[in-house]
Amino acid sequence: MYRITERDFYQRYEKVSVHEAGQYTPPVDLNIILTLICHFKPKHFVEFGVQEGITAKIILDKCSSIEKYTGIDVPFGFETMMKVQQSEVPKSAGSLVSDDRFEALVLPKGTVELDVENLSADMVFIDADHSTKGVQRDTELALQMTSGVIIWHDYNRAHVQRYVNRRPGAISVLLSEKSPGVAFEILREPLPIL
Q: Is 185 in the site for ligand SAM (CB under 6 A)?
A: no
Rounded-to-integer distance, Cα 154 and Cα 40, Å: 21
| CA 57 to chain centroid | 14
Closest Cα partner for 45 from 20, 69, 10? 69
Nearer to ligand SAM, 83 or 190 (CB): 83
Residue at shortest CB range from ligand SAM? 110
Nearer to ligand SAM, 125 or 191 (CB): 125
For 76, residues 6+ apart whose C-beta sits below 8 A from its C-beta are: 89, 90, 91, 92
For residue 127, the minimal CB distance to ligand SAM (Å) is 4
Rounded-to-integer distance, Cα 36 and Cα 176, Å: 18
Residues from 123 through 152 that contact ligand SAM (CB under 6 A): 127-129
Q: Which of 36, 72, 164, 175 binds ligand SAM (CB under 6 A)?
A: 72
- Please give the residue ranges that form the binding site for ligand SAM (CB under 6 A): 22, 24-25, 47-51, 54-55, 72-74, 80, 85, 88-90, 110-111, 127-129
